[in-house]
Amino acid sequence: MIAINNLSFRYPGRDTASIREINLHIRAGEFVLLTGPTGCGKSTLLKCLNGIIPHLSGGECQGEVLIGGRATRSLTMAQLSAKVGLVQQSPDDQIFATAIQDEVAFGPENLCLPRPEIEKRVEWALTAVELGDCRRRSTAALSGGQKQRLAIAAMLALNPRVLALDEPISQLDPQGANEVMTVVRKLNKDYGVTVVMVEHRIHEVAQFVDRMIVMQAGRILIDAPTREAMAKADLIAGMGLRLPDTVEISRRFKLERVAMTVQEAAGMLKTGGAVRTEVFAQRQMRREGAQPVVEVRDLSYRYGKSDKLAVDCLNLVVDRGERVAVMGRNGAGKSTLLAHIAALTPPWRGAVQVAGRAISRSYGLPLGTVGMVMQNPDLMLFQASVRREVDFGLLNLGLPAAVRAERYSRAIESLGLAPLQDDPPLALSRGQRLRTAVAAVVAMRPEIVLLDEPTTGQDKRHIDSMMDGLAAQAETLVFCTHDVDTAIRYATRIVVMDGGRIIAADRPRKIFADETLLARSGLRPTQAWLVGKELGFADIFTPTDLEERWQC
Amino acid sequence: MGRGKWLLLLIIFIAAGGWFILGGEEQGVEGNVRFGRQGADICLAEPQAVSRVAVSGEGGQPFAVAVLGPGVRQKIPIFMNWEPGRKYYFTMTLADGGSAVLAAQSPDERLDRVSLKLRAPYGLSGKDGGGVVPEDSVLTADVLVTNNAEQPVEATLVIAVPAGLEVVAVPDGLRAERSDGTLLLTGRRRLSARNELWNEQLQLRAGKAGTNAVLQASLVLDDGRSHWRQASQATIQTATTAAIGGKIRIAAVEAPVDSIGRVDPKAQSGVLVYAPPSLLSNIWGAQTGGRLDDEPFAYARVTISNDGDEQVLVLVAGKVVDPATGELAATYRVPPHKNDGKGYSYDVAAVGPRGSTSVILPLYLNENSLLAGNYVFRAETAIFGVSQVLAGADRQVQLVARSDRPLLITLLMALIALVGTGWLMWRQEAALARFSTKELVIISLFGTVTFVTVNMPQTILWDIAHVVFGPFSFLFTGFFGQTVLYALIVSLAAVLPRPGAITLMIVVRMILNGFIFGHFTPVQILSYAMLAVCLEGALYLTGATRGPRKDGLGRVALLALACGLVDVVTTYMNFMAYMTLYRLYYADWYIGAVIAAGFVYTAAGAAIGCRLGGTLRRTATD
Amino acid sequence: MLNWQEFTYSGAEATAIFRLDPRVKILMLVITGLFIIFLDNPWLLAALLAVGLAGVFAARLTLLKVKIVLAVIAIGLWGAVFSQALFYEQMPRTAVLTVISPQTPLLGPLTGGLYVYQEGIVHGLRQGLRMAAMTTLGLLVCWTTDSRLLLLGLVRLRLPYSLAFMAVTAVRFIPILLQETLQVIAASRLRGGRRFSMQTLLPILGNCLRRAGTLAVAVESRAFRAFGERTYLEELRFNAAEKLLLAGYLLLVAAAVVSKASYLGYQYGLFYHSALRPLYEFARTCL
């Protein structure tokens, strides 16, 4: 189906080639995962499949890509569009239309197909991605997962035999990711569509794919069926990619075979031994003498008069030194809660006190009380250089020059931004932009730092370096996340929200052990926990837990 | 265009030019000349607007020149010394540039050696030198003695004032003595030179109504060789004011009429149109006069009927008043050096028994305090010498100040919008094919950003500001309306330095504004079209859309200036369009203030846009 | 803040006015726009406003939108009254209030005195009717037609498709960019920045440039602009009644505009014919 021979490509204005001498053959009906660290050239390779490279890109391209036996170079974009469909990372940015059916009909219309044919294709594509019943709805009202499915449908309407997906789930919540992966698998298995997916969150997709291709520095490093590829887990982990827990367990325990499922892993470990039971200090929910930083009392809020309550009679106390993870489905009220703590929204009913000050319509908070890192850190970067960005808040605080310099350099150091101080923030890489935004927030030394799903679309290494920097700089932290791993690693307490209410608040280990609670709030238990459960061990949440407490 | 067509065009031009130059030809004017004691009267068959009359003899030697004021005349008096039995040529220069010549032979015989003329009431030129006056009114009797001969003469004048009349004041040089109830006023004078005049004016008070008094003047003359007498008399009838005035009425008032009282069939009755000299009328070839203040701007015709049996001398005044206050309207005030500074036009008319007379009154326009709108033309009549208004009639007159400038500018905007739309429809995709899809998306997203950060806050804030500050809200809303807008435009030009990008963004913004706020009005479309054209022009000229440039301070200043000027032009044009299409009024100082504030806001926005664009360009290259 | 979802929700879609062909609505709006600038008769202007309002009610728009329409009319009228009360330049005019006396230092000589004129208020109301009628009709059309259908209508009226594509894209990103703007402002405020400054634009525009690349790839890989032409799923077809309505309206307006235009031509001394005097009279008194 796809044959790539000696393909090299260099972007215009770059010194080095992004991909070098790639040779690759993909059979019809395969589901291939293309992975590797950021900047390894995987997305570039994907763009070569549907002819964006070289037709629309400029740059230097050598070698050839054959789709169904014909070179992409010799095909027009229109012809290629009917062979390879491309779905990109951002669910919001690849949809242009206001109505669902317009988006799907766009491709066939461009191909000048007759109206009945367009109609047929729209119907089919939307049914295939399970959006068949909302043809006339507005695209703005869709969730992230639905948008990604719509983007797939828009491609399907062109009847491509190959679907190229560029990190399609990296910006989605677990539920949305699941929807998308289910649809993609269905397309692959039921409709025989060849799927090439670029994704660095291997743990989320490994179970679906037939074959894994790992790239590094523009070259293919590993190209093998999934299980075989996973055997080289050390190599993959060394790139900073996150492996599925079962693979990680296999790696750490040096199991003879790579476990791809919980059952496999458990089965192989069962013979091994037992887990040391460790008594975690049964901390009280509130320590005596703790200083509350945030006190939310009976908070209710709705956006429009006819809307339902975004938060509903919510109570929450965050003490100094706590790191609270707020989890739950999209629309559970997490962001609304953060907006209230940040005094961006005055409470409608109830009261919010931050650092001892009650927030009201007329009274906000003194500057620097609350720091907030938003879901899209790019929206926080409005200065011409990293230096000015980090200095902006400090200047506004009116601090003496010495204090300012001290805070500035600590923030820069702890987030590893020292070499980038004079670069414009928006020209930095994704991870660097996130760290810049965090540095700008923590430099002000707020009483409390809020993070609204900053992990979205970031790879593991970026998340870890950001969270480490934050943990070092900020005493009290409240963050929203979908990522269980991050929550376990950094939170001292987890607050689970659903329908505007807090349905549970406890230590992470307690929360993640409650399967019904997780299911209710759209979260999934970790594979490691499932393995532990299978083995009859409680309190295992990560492969590290298992490794550390494994007794032979 | 071929050479033949050029030639044809040239010929047409020359012919037209020649027609203009040679336009002042001699014209056929009919009339005759009557020689009198003081000169000659030109009596024309038809009233004419004559501006100058030059009299010359047979040899062409000049005798007299009379320069006449504006207006049409049928009788033109020329004061001159004529010799008997000679031929004179009267060359009349007409107001329209033409000229006409009348030739006349002077009589062979001279007139009386000394003539005596008595006119009472003075001004009412009845054939018999008499007339009807209101009771108790003051009238003037005018006695004129003229020496027509070369020799000196000793003249003794006796005026007999009968009992029915009372002398208000005896003029110096006349001696009064009473005999038989008759007052005799006697005076003596030597008239030594030819054409020497002796003029006496008597102020008389008329008596009770119903009296008839005969005023007599007699002259005893002595030239040293012989004695002779001459006499003249005038009958003065006295009636009540009501009796005279009751018979006088204003039969019709018509305005505008032309200078000889004709109604222009094209003109709309009651509507005066003021059109200041403009580009359009220049192009159209209409004559452009100087300022109007000194020349009548239009004429009104007042027709007065007399139902009585006596000739009445009537003073007709035409006042243009403010309908709200009834006071003289400043716009129509007659220049102070005319009409005794009364501020309105008047004229005297003698209305014959059972007859009617039309008076044509000039209307002046004071361009300095010109205010269009509805006025009232008020015609008032009074018996001459009695300051009591007998009859009045009001006629509404509307003054339309036709200002071509807003109209022309609006038409220009419409033309540009039409051409732009037509071009877009004609060139279709070809025009857009120059942009890559990514560029199109960048442009439309800039359009959205503009909509979100300019139009939305503007629509919401503007409305609030408008409620409070009304027309002065521009001082506050300029930040969004101009600073942010131009910052975005200039930064788009920095990111996509190509002609056309700005236009596309403006079109997108226009469509958005139409779809979301329903702003689909012609004025808005015009203003968007103008903005697009001016911006594209300015940005191209400054080089902003001719490829990437480095942002030096000078370039920023240049761009700021260019954008500021674009805003000045478009704002001004928008005002013109609003004035034309929505009939709104704006004071000049207000437009000036809006433009000045806009310039500052815009220039600031453009300067910020340069910086913004520079930063964006650096970040967006990957 | 404005709730975009609620704002763009079109309301009861079953009413006849929704079902009209978008081209009919666009053309009628454009025709009315031309018509209305030729009109001077306040009663006719008021009648057009009444038609617009009747349409708003007949279309059963949401209460929010009805309120917006009424607010827009009120504000528009008020704005016209406010400015015309001050700047009215026709006789007669009666000053009922002195805002700036000509004796005021600086402002007095500059403005020559500023007064509130009684007649200006009336004039402002009359001319405000023109704007109010136009805005109401404009809002009626755009709120009773899906924006995609409006664009489709424009495309059928020979708007280049690429422009229509740009417009759809622009509409689609309004709520997203609105949200982002608010977020940038919030982020800036939390670090002591102002509510809205030029710096707010930088991240938004930077984001736009980035997403433009994504969207361009997304549409180009779907054969956007692959051929000079394209087909359309949505079908627009005039029915007989719509044709009749449009033709009738066009005829009516054309007659009115021609008579008014000939009257204006006469007034401006461009063209006059005595046979047209009744027409002039009609235009002067009725239109």
* Residue range(s) occupied by CATH 3.40.50.300 in chain A: 2-225
Q: What is the mean pLDDT of residues A115-127?
A: 93
What proportion of chain B, given as a percentage, has pLDDT over 70?
88
Mean pLDDT, chain B, whole residue set? 80
On chain A, the residues whose CB falls within 8 A of the CB of B615 are 384, 424, 426
Q: Is residue A284 predicted with pLDDT exceeding 50?
A: no
* Confidence check: pLDDT of B281 > 60: no
> Nearest chain A Cα to B441, which residue?
A96
Confidence of residue B74 (pLDDT cuts 50, 70, 90): confident
**C-alpha span between A105 and A100 (Å, rounded):** 9
- Does the pLDDT at position B394 exceed 60? yes
- Give the per-residue pLDDT at B22: 47
B599 and B461: one domain?
Answer: yes
Of A171 and C184, the one with more pLDDT: C184
**Distances in whole angstroms, Cα of residue C92 to Cα of each of A334, B276, B328, C113:** 65, 21, 12, 17
Q: Are residues B408 and B508 both part of a single domain? A: yes
**Mean pLDDT throughout A100-129?**
92
A25-47 average pLDDT score: 89
Q: Which of B37, B40, B36, B45 has the alpha carbon at shortest distance from B77?
A: B40
Residue B24 has pLDDT above 50, yes or no: no
Is A279 a residue whose pLDDT tops 60? no
Q: H-helix or E-strand containing B324? A: none
Q: What's the whole-number mean pLDDT along residues B15-42?
A: 66
Please tell me the predicted confidence (pLDDT) of residue B533: 87
Joined tokens for residue B359: 């008076």
- B437 and C112 within 8 Å at the Cβ level: the answer is no
Q: What is the pLDDT of residue C286?
A: 80
Query: Does some domain include residue B8?
Result: no
State residue B129's pLDDT score: 61
Q: Which of the listed residues B105, B125, B141 is the one where a domain comes to its end?
A: B105
Closest-approach residue (CA) in chain B for C164: B508
Tens digit of pLDDT for each residue in B236-274?
888 777 777 777 888 888 878 887 777 777 777 788 877
Based on the fold, state whether residues B341 and B287 are members of the same structural domain.
Answer: yes
Predicted local confidence at residue B293, as pLDDT: 60
Put simply, whether B581 touches C (Cβ < 8 Å) is yes
pLDDT level of residue A127 (50, 70, 90 thresholds): very high
Asked if B577 contacts B523 with a C-beta cutoff of 8 angstroms, the reply is: yes
Residue C46 phi/psi, 5-degree rounding, is -65, -35
**pTM higher than 0.80 for the full model?**
no
Sign of the alpha-carbon dihedral angle for B274, B278, B280, B284: positive
**How do beta strands B271-274 and B389-401 pair?**
parallel
Angle between helices B553-581 and B522-542 (to 10 degrees): 160
pLDDT surpasses 50 at B201: yes
- Determine the structural domain holding residue B308 and report its residue range: 249-401
Let me know whether B378 and B453 are in one domain.
Answer: no
Taking only residues 150 to 169 of chain C, the set having a beta carbon closer than 8 angstroms to any beta carbon of chain B reads: 150-151, 154, 158-163, 165-167, 169
Size of interface A-B (CB pairs under 8 A): 13
Same domain, residue pair B582 and B482: yes
Instruction: Note whether C92 contacts B373, CB cutoff 8 Å.
Output: yes
Do both B349 and B273 map to the same domain?
yes
Residues B539 and B434 in one domain: yes
Confidence class for position A89, pLDDT limits 50, 70, 90: confident
* Mean pLDDT computed over B333-354: 77
Q: Does C233 touch chain B (CB under 8 A)?
A: no
Within-domain flag for B5? no
Contacts of B118 (CB under 8 A, 6+ apart): B129, B141, B142, B143, B144, B215, B216, B217, B232, B233, B234
Using a pLDDT cut of 90, give the percent of chain B over it: 7
Domain match, B361 and B408 both: no
Contact C141 B428 (CB under 8 A): no
Average pLDDT across chain A, whole number: 86
DSSP A427: G
Q: Which residues contact B225 (CB under 8 A, 6 or more apart)?
A: none
In whole angstroms, what separates CA A325 from the centre of its chain? Answer: 16
> Residues of chain B whose C-beta is under 8 A from some C-beta in A?
436-437, 441, 615, 618-619, 621-622
Are B591 and B574 in contact, with CB atoms under 8 Å apart?
no
At position A170, the amino acid (one-letter code) is S
* pLDDT in the model for residue B1: 45
Bridge partners (DSSP) listed for residue B617: none
Q: Does C269 touch chain B if contact means CB atoms closer than 8 Å?
A: yes
Contacts of residue B431, Cβ cutoff 8 Å, sequence gap at least 6:
B423, B424, B500, C160
* Subunit contact B618:A13, Cβ cutoff 8 A: no
State which of B61, B77, B105 marks the end of a domain: B105
Q: Is the pLDDT of residue C3 over 60?
A: no
* Domain end point (choices B345, B376, B401): B401
**Under 8 Å CB-to-CB from A309, ≥6 apart: which residues?**
A300, A301, A302, A500
Residues B474 and B383 in one domain: no
pLDDT of residue A486: 85
B47: which residues sit within 8 A by CB, 6+ positions away?
A: B72, B73, B74, B260
Q: What percent of chain C stands above pLDDT 90?
A: 6
Q: Is the pLDDT of residue C2 over 50?
A: no
- For residue B520, tell me if it sits in a domain: yes
Is residue B238 within 8 Å of residue B164, measured between CB atoms? yes
Residues 6+ apart with CB under 8 A from B561: B603
Q: Which residues of B touch C34 (CB under 8 A)?
A: 522
pLDDT at residue B127 is higher than 80: no
CATH 3.30.390.50 given to domain A2-225: no
Same domain, B389 and B464: no
Statement to judge: residues B122 and B100 lie in one domain: no
B619 to A427: CB separation less than 8 angstroms, yes or no:
yes
Q: What is the DSSP letter of B452?
A: I
In terms of domains, do B390 and B413 share one?
Answer: no
pLDDT on residue C11: 52
Does the beta-carbon distance from C75 to B471 stay under 8 Å? no
Residues 6+ apart with CB under 8 A from A288: none
Question: How many structural domains does chain B have?
Answer: 4
Report the percent of chain A where pLDDT is more than 70.
Answer: 96
Across A121-130, A148-157, A508-517, least confident range: A508-517
Residues of C in contact with A118 (CB under 8 A): 231, 233
In a domain? residue B391: yes
d(CA C90, CA C126): 14
pLDDT greater than 70 at residue B489 = yes
CA distance B381 to chain C (A): 25
